[in-house]
Structure 1
Amino acid sequence: MDVVWPPGTTELQRKYGQTYSLMMGSHSVIIVNQHIHAKEVLLKKGKTFAGRPRTVTTDTLTRDGKDIAFGDYSPTWRFHRKIVHGALCMFGEGSASIEKIICAEAHSLCSILSEASAVGLALDLSPELTRAVTNVICSLCFNSSYCRGDPEFETMLNYSQGIVDTVAKDSLVDIFPWLQIFPNADLQLLKQCVSVRDQLLQRKYDEHKADYSDHVQRDLLDALLRAQRSTENNNTAEFGTEAVGLSDDHLLMTVGDIFGAGVETTTTVLKWAVAYLIHHPQTQRQIQEELDSKVGSERSPQLSDRGNLPYLEATIREVLRIRPVAPLLIPHVALSDTSIGEFSVRKGTRVIINLWSLHHDNKEWTNPELFDPGRFLNSDGSGLMIPSPSYLPFGAGIRVCLGESLAKMELFLFLSSVLQRFTLSVPPGHCLPSLEGKFGVVLQPPKYRVNATLRPGWETNSCQMC
């Protein structure tokens, strides 16, 4: 079944063309559905289109745009992003520390699947995947992690889902801000969830500040505190032509960003990956044969194996294509009068990149509605390729996803570790997982349960860490 997100976009494209404009309340909005104009917005004119719109829900989430994802383009934002990028690079690709953290969580996830398999229990993988990814982010941000059943983790699950369900969905209150004077169940839920989140983050932030040392950098929050104190000691930092600094709100909202984006998006991609692997057991078998041949059963997969596992990497790319985690990238705003192709664009115009349309463009992709990892492999299947320029799973340019490298590491290590040991299938009597997602700031798959069966030779072989 060919699913279109958001519903109705195909009809609008047929009627008005690949790039068209519409009015949402008092705001002029341009919808971009083709890669040529998308790359003009994101890359060629990235700075011109680097602005972000102010909306009621995103302002509620980010203390009026003091984060990176929704924060408007400014000298403070550029300095803020530079600091966070530098801190993330400490744990980036090639870092032994973050690889060990992810491998440890993959080992824990395999142990849970093994226990369930032993008693024939079908699992909803969502909370287990969320906890594993959350622990990676917790280690990165706070040098801590959660055990199964931890009440604080359950609280985090609840407020995260509430935020995903209510923020940045172009609800009426975002289009007509004056509607917030009336009772609004979604806005009230968002405010409650943000309040719970902020209490948790504030407590961790205060604990971190209490035992902070200039001589030890344990995690991302230490790096942010160091940058903040450095600018305070110098009064301000010169960035461009303006003086900038980082407030406590900037630091807290950065951590909130990393949790919100880093956990929800990666977990969602993993859930889509498992759903598609259950639908396509032959793909699963081919990945397992590749793992058996290139890694074996004496050790766990490592990041250094990525070059030897092209079919697994191609499968991850295909999941990111067919079910982009953010079907509509966060809107951009034109910071000056400009153009897109032959179209004139006024300052303040909002621009939405329809990533779903880019990834399902039948002029760029053969049978785009079909799940086919082979489209990302070269002719003999030995190497990876990008078959179309219409592929931007993490965005591009100035506003590209900061966590791209970390997300790719997690997707590879979690999926390779699980598929090395288990075959995933639908439980007897259950339907295959629905592939029609729930539209929001991320595209979430419906809930489903999974049988994880230990593969031959693993019944007595314990899950080894990297």
Structure 2
Amino acid sequence: MLDFIRKEADQRSKTLSPDENRDFIDAYLKKINESNGTNESFNLRTLMGNALNLFGAGTNTVRASIEWNLLYCARDPEGVQRKLQQEVDNIVGRERAPEWEDRHRMPYTMAFIWEMLRWRTPTPLGLIRTAERDTTMGGFHVPAGTVVLSNFWAVHHDPEVWEHPFDFDPTRFLNADHTVLLPKPAAFIPFSTGRRMCPGETLAIMEIFIYLTTLMQKFTVLPKEGETISMDIHEGITNIPLYSQELRFLPR
């Protein structure tokens, strides 16, 4: 991947336009050129590192989340999947493509997406941080340089915060009659929290929403004939399904 990014940067540097930025790489290369390589924040090494981070954060977690969504739909076609399809039919219909703005009138779909991000947290421990200085937290001394990990999985499965946290239940994010999406709870942090939370949260949820609603509009998702769906987890930096499973997409 680094070789690909390096080649792309080399090609872009030869065709830069002073009046237009085609994308992130163009803008970054211009910053490098402006400083003649003297700015530590803008050099080829940091460009490749940032581009690699964008690729990883923008593909792995979204892909894993979409995969979990489709597996659960195939696992429960007459329940959860039917509700998703009905909401798509009622709000979007069959004639046009789903749009991001549709989310405001599709509370169950958004609750389903949120619940999957909670139940199968894509990045269970987030990114590695370090303590900048000596500090105290919860009565414990934390020296400068200590590696810090945020356990999002533990927060998302804390029984003091969530009722029946190991059950998948999109309605926990809805009002009593399931017609309104409730405000996002403080303990819902699949993209971290605070000033250093993931800047791509909205983009990631938008991608999941468009992908899911488009598939629900066009297809019914089922397991491979004669097989059942497993929601077991292969734990790692990104939580992905433990098993590779084939799905059937039947046109509606």
Specify if TM > 0.5.
yes
Instruction: Provide the residue aligned with 2:36 in structure 1.
Output: 232
**What CA distance in whole angstroms lies between the structure 1 residues aligned with 2:178 and 2:228?**
32
Q: Cα distance, 1:297 vs. partner?
A: 1.0
Give 1 or 2: higher helix fraction: 1
Identity of aligned residues (%): 34
Report if the CA contact (8 A) 1:358-1:390 is conserved. Answer: yes
Instruction: Answer with 1 or 2: which has the greater Rg.
Output: 1
1:443 and 2:247 aligned? no
Distance, in Å, in 2 between the alignment partners of 1:344 and 1:246 is: 35
Give aligned pairs, total: 250
Amino acid at match of 1:218: R
Q: CA deviation at 1:254?
A: 1.1
Q: Which amino acid aligns with 1:307?
A: H
Give yes or no for the alignment of 1:423 onto 2:225: no
Q: Does 1:355 align with 2:159?
A: no
Selected match of 2:67 from 254, 271, 275: 271
Give per-residue Cα distances to partners, 1:307-352, cap 9 Å, x unaligned. Answer: 0111101100000000011111222211111121333322222222
Deviation at 1:356, TM superposition (A): 1.0
On the 8 A contact 2:107/2:181 being kept in 1, the answer is yes
Checking the alignment, whether the CA contact within 8 Å between 2:133 and 2:143 is kept in structure 1 is yes
Please point out which of 32, 53, 73 is paired with 1:257.
Answer: 53
Paired AA for residue 6 in structure 2: Q
- Equivalent position amino acid for 1:334 in 2: A
Q: Deviations over 1:49-77 (max 9, x none)?
A: xxxxxxxxxxxxxxxxxxxxxxxxxxxxx
Asked if the contact 1:364–1:388 (Cα under 8 Å) also holds between the matched residues in 2, the reply is no
> Is contact 1:324–1:356 with CA below 8 Å preserved after alignment?
yes
Contact 2:174 2:181 in 1 (8 A): yes
1:300 is matched with which residue: 97, 110, 116? Answer: 97
Q: Of the two structures, which has the highest relative contact order with CA contacts closer than 8 Å and spacing of 6 or more? A: 1
CA RMSD of aligned residues (A): 1.6
1:227–1:378 distance in 2 versus 1, CA, 3 Å: farther
Q: Is the 8 A contact 1:231 1:245 kept in 2?
A: no
Structure 1: distance between partners of 2:232 and 2:188: 21
Aligned to 1:153: none
Q: In structure 1, the residue corresponding to 2:141 is in which secondary structure?
A: strand
Counterpart contact for 1:232–1:245, Cα < 8 Å: no
Give 3-state SS (helix, strand or coil) of 2:12's partner. Answer: helix
Cα deviation code 1:217-239 (max 9, x no counterpart): 11111121222223339x64xxx
Asked if 2 retains the 8 angstrom alpha-carbon contact of 1:268 and 1:325, the reply is yes
Match of 1:310 in 2: 107
- Aligned with residue 374 of structure 1, among 171, 175, 179: 171
Unaligned runs of 5+ in 2: none
Single out whichever of 372-381 and 219-228 deviates more from structure 2. Answer: 219-228
Structure 1: which amino acid aligns with 2:74?
Answer: I
Aligned residue for 2:113, secondary structure, equals helix
